Amino acid sequence: MHKKIELGMVSGLGRDASADIAAKLDALDAASRPGGTAVVERRPADGWPDGGAPAPAPSQTRADPNARKLHCFDLIRAFEQRALTGALLPCFISHTFIDELQAETTLPILNMMHALSEYLERHLPPPAAIGVLTSDYVRRNGLFERCLGARGYRLLYPDDAAVQAGVMEAVYGPRGIKRGGRLGEPLEQVAGACENLLRQGAQLCLPGITEIPLLAEPLLARGIALLDTNQIYAQYAHCALAGAAPAPARHFKIGVIGGVGPAATVDFMEKIIRNTPASRDQDHIKLVVEHNPQIPDRTANLIGAGADPTLALYAAAKRLQADDADIIAIPCNTAHAFVERIQPALSIPIVHMLNETVAYLRSHCAGKRRIGLLATSGTLASRVYHEAVAGDDLRLLLPDPAHQALVMRAIYGEAGVKAGFRAGQCRADLLRAMEHLARRGAEVIILACTELPLLVAQDEHCTIAGRAVAVLDPGEILARRCVALAQASAGA
């Protein structure tokens, strides 16, 4: 049984040209894939020539492509969300920014210039002379130079400004091809341009406007060697999608459930940036952050009657999943008490900060068994760290009630870190709690609330109360792990 293939046609770029490509693709599929014919989706575009707006005048040769970029992206994104197989882009102007579009989607966009390059190399290899009929904008952009000239082809364009103006008039004029004109003046103008190219030595004429192939039959009847680029594109799509569309190259993306708390989220992002080897902006890792400070307080739920944050955390994770994140990081220790509830319903992994911290502890603090734990009362009550170290020869040391109260005040107090303080009483409270654990024999202290490292940074060679203590920041460890996963993906 043939696999059903669904393609999205980015319309609004040329109604008749889109229909021509779709019809040719349908004919190819009908001949070779009965029962599995490609379904071409077309969407009207209000404000575009296909949606009723007037076609651009031939004099508009310096049109701003930005609106076209946004239009194409919106349609391609919609196709991606519907899990179509790929996208057809029936417009040469839009191919001047196809790389920008492809960089922002996982959906394969079938590249017309690749189709033409492959066809020409099979049938007319370089250094053949190719006559190009295209718009002023595409010619000025150098699209054909990048895609064909770089392969050794000699490119020719109309050498008479009046002839080039005739090409623009034939396509965009009031009686032009975009208006339904096929014979008469549009045909004569395109034929004249082809003859100009052939006189210059072109071995064939290559349309760089998808409306021009609509005149292929009468031009060929006159003996003019004109390629039907729409047919070539349809054939390319048919062959490329005979199995499954190849996934385009994409960049790894880290999803972050933020706002738990806000300052810790910003700190975590800074740690990802700091731990990423980079010499330019483009070397850094993609991040998408669902920053929602309205997620119910995790500690209030675990030790009292506070609202359950499970659904809010799940909703945030689903939004990150929908935004193509590869992994999810939650820079909140207490929130990990809820991870087991939501992970089974997700298709991407949550990088478990507590498990990563324990793994780091084993590899970097080997031989140290007495582990002090400074965390919210909710984290302690949930025993998530106890579960993470289960089976290891590790002993967790928790503060006594008085020093736990200092930890909570450092985090939640009026002068605490969640209130925006970074020094003063909150830091003094934290240091007192750390000294308390050090005196009880802690060899490692885990700052198991992502706000606490805003007061005291990770230091594996710290001296506390006259004792050597390794101070670990789970947020730092999580950031390093996320960077490592991104780098491993890039090297795969």
Q: Kindly provide the residue ranges of all beta strands, DSSP E only, lying in 98-239, ordered along the sequence.
A: 109-110, 129-134, 154-156, 204-208
Q: Which residues contact 478 (CB under 8 A, 6 or more apart)?
A: 268, 329, 331, 351, 353, 356, 357
Query: Which pLDDT value is given to residue 142?
Result: 94
Query: Which pLDDT value is given to residue 249?
Result: 62
Alpha carbon distance 110, 90 (integer Å):
9
Query: Which pLDDT value is given to residue 182?
Result: 80
Selected catalytic residue, list 72, 194, 205, 449: 449
Helix (H, G, I), strand (E, B) or coil at 440: coil
Question: 3-state DSSP helix/strand/coil percent for the chain, to nearest 5?
Answer: 50, 15, 35
User: What string of pLDDT tens digits covers the 492 residues of the chain?
Assistant: 455 678 888 877 778 888 898 888 888 766 555 544 455 555 544 444 443 333 344 344 445 678 888 889 999 988 988 888 889 999 999 999 999 999 888 889 999 999 999 999 999 999 999 999 999 999 999 999 999 999 999 999 999 999 999 999 999 998 888 888 888 888 999 999 999 999 999 999 999 999 999 998 998 888 888 999 999 999 998 887 665 445 566 789 999 999 998 999 999 999 999 999 999 998 999 999 999 999 998 988 888 888 999 999 999 999 999 888 999 999 999 999 999 999 999 999 999 999 999 999 999 998 899 999 999 999 999 999 999 998 778 999 999 999 999 999 999 999 999 999 999 999 999 999 999 999 999 999 999 999 999 999 999 999 999 999 999 999 999 999 999 999 988 764
How buried is 167 (Cβ within 10 angstroms: 0-12 exposed, 13-18 middle, 19+ buried)? buried
Answer for the pair 244, 256: CB distance below 8 angstroms, yes or no: no
Active site residue 332: yes
Query: Which pLDDT value is given to residue 52?
Result: 33
Query: Which pLDDT value is given to residue 53?
Result: 37
Query: Which pLDDT value is given to residue 49?
Result: 40
DSSP code string of 80-148: HHTT-SEEE---HHHHTTHHHHHHT-SSPEEPHHHHHHHHHHHHS-TT-EEEEEE-HHHHHHTHHHHHT
Alpha carbon distance 379, 230 (integer Å):
62
Alpha carbon distance 1, 9 (integer Å):
25
Alpha carbon distance 112, 237 (integer Å):
9
Distance of CA 464 to the CA centre of its chain: 45
Alpha carbon distance 327, 283 (integer Å):
18
Q: How many other CB atoms sit within 10 Å of the CB of residue 214?
A: 25
Query: Which pLDDT value is given to residue 104?
Result: 86
CATH architecture of 253-349: 3-Layer(aba) Sandwich (3.40)
Query: Which pLDDT value is given to residue 246?
Result: 52
CA distances from 412 to 106, 300, 406, 421 (A): 42, 11, 10, 10
Which among 288, 387, 393, 394 has a CA at the least distance from the CA of 339?
387
Tokens of 159: 């050498």
Helix (H) or strand (E) holding 172: helix 161-172
Query: Which pLDDT value is given to residue 34?
Result: 52
Alpha carbon distance 158, 133 (integer Å):
8
Assign residue 135 a region: left if phi > 0, alpha if psi is -120 to 50, beta otherwise?
beta
Query: Which pLDDT value is given to residue 314?
Result: 94
Q: Which residue carries 């693709």 as its tokens? A: 25
Q: Which residue carries 């390629």 as its tokens? A: 227
Answer for the pair 194, 163: CB distance below 8 angstroms, yes or no: no
Residue 160 DSSP one-character state: S
Answer for the pair 429, 409: CB distance below 8 angstroms, yes or no: yes
CATH topology match: 5-54+61-110 vs 253-349: yes
Answer for the pair 472, 354: CB distance below 8 angstroms, yes or no: no
Q: Hey, which residues does 15 pair with through a beta bridge?
A: none
DSSP code string of 411-429: HHSTTSGGGT--STHHHHH
Selected catalytic residue, list 91, 205, 332, 426: 332
5-54+61-110: CATH class? alpha beta
Distance of CA 31 to the CA centre of its chain: 36
Strand ordering across the sheet containing 154-156:
154-156, 129-134, 204-208
CA dihedral 318, 319, 320, 326 (to 10 degrees): 50
Listed by start position, the domains of the chain span 5-54+61-110, 114-242, 253-349, 354-478
For domain 114-242, the question of CATH label 3.40.50.1860 is answered with yes
Answer for the pair 46, 11: CB distance below 8 angstroms, yes or no: no
Q: What angle do CA 452, 453, 455 make, to 5 degrees?
A: 75
Query: Which pLDDT value is given to residue 112?
Result: 95
Q: Hey, which residues does 459 pair with through a beta bridge?
A: 471
Q: Which residues contact 166 (CB under 8 A, 6 or more apart)?
A: 189, 190, 192, 193
CATH topology (fold) of 354-478: Rossmann fold (3.40.50)
Alpha carbon distance 137, 68 (integer Å):
13
Q: Which residue carries 């736990």 as its tokens? A: 404
